[in-house]
Amino acid sequence: MSPSLPTKALRFGTPRASSEPYRFNWRALFSTIVVVITYLSQTSPVSAQTTSIAIWPPLLEATIQPGKSVTQVYRLKNLGDDTIITAYLKPFSPSGELGHVQLQLQGQSLTGDPANGRVGTAKPEGLSLLNSALSFFSLLNADLKTLPATFPLKAGQTQELVLKIKIPEDSKLTDHYFTFLFDSNTTGLVGDSGTTTQATIGSNILLTISDDGQPKLSAKIEEFAAGQIKVRPFLGASLLRGIYPKRSEGGSDLNGDLRFVTLNLLDSFSPISFLIRVKNTGTTRLKTIGQIELKNTFNNPVATLPLREDNILSNSIRKLQTTTDWKPFFPLGRFTATASITPQDSTNTITQTIYFFVLPYKAILVVVLIFLGFKALTKSREQQ
Amino acid sequence: MKTKGSELSVSARLRTSCQFVTFLVGTLLAFTTPVLAIPNMESDSYKLQFTNLNMTSGSKESTNFKVLDTLGQTGPGQYTSSGYYVKAGFPYIKTIIDFSFTISDLSIDFGSLTPSTFATQTNTLTISAGGAGGYSVTAIEDHPLKLQATATTIPDTTCDSACDETTAAVWTDTANFGFGFNLTGNDISSDFTDSTYFRQFADLSLAESPQTIMTNSDVGSGRTATVTYKLNISASQAAGDYSNQITYVAIPTY
């Protein structure tokens, strides 16, 4: 009986005679393990220091009576390296008309301009009001009570912060807009000349102080238009004035200097979009609920485009967006678009109607140019 | 019998060897597997509830309260009583979505600098809102690159023609010195026409306002931009290590 059959398949190292007793090669095993460990330690990726933080909720909307308080849990995740977090609040004002914020930094005022979405000027008393409103906020964590708060956050760790908003009894009934900011201070090392970078993440707070929870809301459609083109009035502005497109009340078809005419003329083969700018004329933020209803030449409804429920801060303008696009198959003719907007929790519906033409004018233009070119070529040949 | 005994001995040794190798591999894996930190959810005097998977969403109201809650709402954050109401989360996406911001590399090291030779380094900025909500990212430096413990600085670039913290311009001429940055990727400012266009960082020491470098008003998920930092010094620049700090602030829309 030969023992070679089971051992041949398993043995490694120097071949041995079949009569030689089996000796396990511990040296080979040890060497292999050392090599594997050395390889792993040498090839482990040396990753650069990163910072990655996530916050929830990204937006808090609160309406509170004077004398009442609310709490909200903020969840902060560290998806990067170990870091030190500093949490604090800053007032903000609207930046642009798309819902972005401009933080009020130390030494800089909230004074805005129409280009920045805010209409009018913030008064100095408004600034002091905002800064005093910072005292409304505190933390309810066992180890974190006041703001700003600094705490370590290890890689992979989640920290929950309980933010308390307490409104004093004598608070003025008004809005306050803040961003809850979290500075991530991860130590970056630069050996030579260089730059270290730092990340800050924010979450917005829209705070309304109201006695009855139903502040008066009012809005106005500043602009409502479909895609427009500007052309020179080759037939005279007065002639075009009597034709479409026609803007509804408050709008104007023609530029004042009559050098250009704005036509609500859309191409049948191009995407059709709408511009709608709404101004919050009240002193309290509002959320827009509404839609754009489209009717064709025969006054039949062809589409309803819901508007995204965006917040418009007091005394500011916001461009609204539809939640769905209108993608008709070869639209043609005169269309009517009616925008209807009702601020949430109110019955003050505002509407505006526009008319526009949809024609394949680009294709027509190409055909006309080809025809004219062909005609010119034919005429040239005839003359030759 | 001798042969049989030899076979048993080999088998036993192999079994022992396998156990030993398994032990070693297990030990190795234990040391190389990332150790996940456990979230600190409570302290001696306060205990926070876990995420409340209530599996509902939408508006709820009665005569006393009105709430727009979101699926997976963290427990204590969405309660109501008389005298207030609270809404948390993205207003038009009724789900629990974090807003996150990542910087790939915090240290931008230019190494040893050679006069009239561009030195460049990059990192990436990533914003994710899980497909919900717009955002903007601003940038500002604490001061121009400064020689440590002195007032000597490397000025911010003015590019080949004229650029500042709000407007980018072409910067390819090594005769023009300074420090600036370029952006490529998603949602970047439109003045970064291509990789030759650079801007200065807004300078906090000059009371300049942070400048928007990425922005999107629509839904965004995994929006990434690469920042290229560029530095060029003159031969007369004082020797030493220059440094500054740049802060990126990411804020969702309201």
Question: Given this model, what pLDDT does residue A27 score?
Answer: 80
Do A263 and A352 belong together in one domain? yes
- Nearest CA-CA distance, residue B134 and chain A, Å: 8
Enumerate the residues of chain B whose CB falls inside 8 A of the CB of residue A179: 251
Do A138 and A203 belong together in one domain? yes
Do A141 and A170 belong together in one domain? yes
Question: Given this model, what pLDDT does residue B130 score?
Answer: 61
Q: What is the mean pLDDT of chain B?
A: 75
- Note the pLDDT tens digit of each residue in B197-252: 999 999 999 999 999 999 998 766 789 999 999 999 999 999 999 999 999 999 99
Rounded to the nearest 5°, which phi and psi values hold at A19?
-80, -15
Enumerate the residues of chain A whose CB falls inside 8 A of the CB of residue B113: 192-193
- Tokens matching residue B246: 């740049």
Residues in chain B: 254
Of B119 and B220, the structure prediction assigns the larger pLDDT to: B119
Of A130 and B249, the structure prediction assigns the larger pLDDT to: B249
Q: Do B91 and A143 touch (CB under 8 A)?
A: no
Do A95 and A28 belong together in one domain? no
Enumerate the residues of chain A whose CB falls inside 8 A of the CB of residue B38: 157
Q: Is the pLDDT of residue A121 over 50?
A: no
Residue A298: pLDDT band (50, 70, 90) is very high
Instruction: Round to whole Å and give the CA distance between B123 and A193.
Output: 16
**Percent of residues in chain B assigned helix, strand, coil, to nearest 5:** 15, 35, 50
Do A34 and A72 belong together in one domain? no
- Note the pLDDT tens digit of each residue in A333-359: 999 999 999 998 888 899 999 999 898
Share of residues in chain A with pLDDT > 90 (%): 49
Do A244 and A163 belong together in one domain? no
The answer to whether A60 and A204 are in contact (CB under 8 A) is: yes
The answer to the question of residue A234 being in a domain is: yes
Question: Given this model, what pLDDT does residue A192 score?
Answer: 84
Q: Do B245 and A195 touch (CB under 8 A)?
A: yes
Residue B149: pLDDT band (50, 70, 90) is confident
Residue B69: pLDDT band (50, 70, 90) is very low
Question: Given this model, what pLDDT does residue A125 score?
Answer: 46
**Mean pLDDT of all residues in A186-213:** 88
User: Comparing C-alpha atoms, which of A338, A324, A333, A325 is closest to residue A293?
Assistant: A338
Looking up residue A256, the CATH number of its domain turns out to be: 2.60.40.3880
Pairing of strands B119-128, B223-232: antiparallel
Do A139 and A274 belong together in one domain? no
Of A168 and A272, the structure prediction assigns the larger pLDDT to: A168
Q: Do A33 and B89 touch (CB under 8 A)?
A: no
Do A250 and A345 belong together in one domain? yes
Q: Is the pLDDT of residue B67 over 50?
A: no
Q: What's the structural domain count of chain A?
A: 3
Do A161 and A241 belong together in one domain? no
Q: Is the pLDDT of residue B90 over 80?
A: no
Do A18 and A151 belong together in one domain? no
HSE, CB side, 13 Å, CA atoms: give it for residue A275: 9
Q: Is the pLDDT of residue A380 over 70?
A: yes
Q: Is the pLDDT of residue A373 over 50?
A: yes
CA angle B202, B206, B212 (to 5 degrees): 20
- Note the pLDDT tens digit of each residue in A135-185: 999 999 989 989 999 999 999 999 999 999 999 999 999 999 999 999 999
Q: Is A71 helix (H, G, I), strand (E, B) or coil?
A: strand
Instruction: Round to whole Å and give the CA distance between A50 and A112.
Output: 35
Of B208 and A214, the structure prediction assigns the larger pLDDT to: B208
Question: Given this model, what pLDDT does residue A28 score?
Answer: 78
Q: What is the mean pLDDT of chain A?
A: 79
Question: Given this model, what pLDDT does residue A384 score?
Answer: 78
Range name among A125-134, B96-105, B205-214 with the lowest pLDDT average: A125-134
Q: Do A72 and B77 touch (CB under 8 A)?
A: yes
Residue B24: pLDDT band (50, 70, 90) is low
- Note the pLDDT tens digit of each residue in A45-73: 455 789 999 999 999 999 999 999 999 99
Q: Is the pLDDT of residue A8 over 50?
A: no
User: Comparing C-alpha atoms, which of A55, A172, A24, A114 is closest to residue B20?
Assistant: A24
Do A86 and A161 belong together in one domain? yes
Interface residue A43 vs chain B (CB under 8 A): no
Looking up residue A66, the CATH number of its domain turns out to be: 2.60.40.10
Q: Do B210 and A10 touch (CB under 8 A)?
A: no
The pTM of the full predicted model, rounded to 2 decimals, is 0.72
Q: Do A188 and B252 touch (CB under 8 A)?
A: no
Enumerate the residues of chain B whose CB falls inside 8 A of the CB of residue A74: 77
DSSP characters over A227-294? --EEE--TT-HHHHHTSS--B-TT--SB-TTSS-EEE-EEETTS-B-EEEEEEE-SSS-EEEEEEEEE
Question: Given this model, what pLDDT does residue A130 score?
Answer: 60
CB contacts under 8 A, A 86-115 vs B, are 95, 98-103, 105, 107-108
Domain B100-252 of CATH type 2.40.50: no
Which residue type occupies A34? V
Q: Which domain holds residue A172?
A: 53-186+199-209
Instruction: Round to whole Å and give the CA distance between B210 and A163.
Output: 27
| Pure H helices in chain A | 4-8, 26-43, 124-133, 237-241, 361-383
Q: Is the bond preceding residue A343 a cis peptide, omega within 30 degrees? A: no
Enumerate the residues of chain A whose CB falls inside 8 A of the CB of residue B145: 193, 195
Question: Given this model, what pLDDT does residue A245 score?
Answer: 40
Question: Given this model, what pLDDT does residue B32 score?
Answer: 43
Q: Is the pLDDT of residue A21 over 80?
A: no
Domain boundary (A178, A209, A240) is at A209
Enumerate the residues of chain A whose CB falls inside 8 A of the CB of residue B30: none
Do A150 and A62 belong together in one domain? yes
Q: Is the pLDDT of residue A230 over 70?
A: no
Residue A91: pLDDT band (50, 70, 90) is very high
User: Comparing C-alpha atoms, which of A134, A137, A139, A165 is closest to residue A150?
Assistant: A139
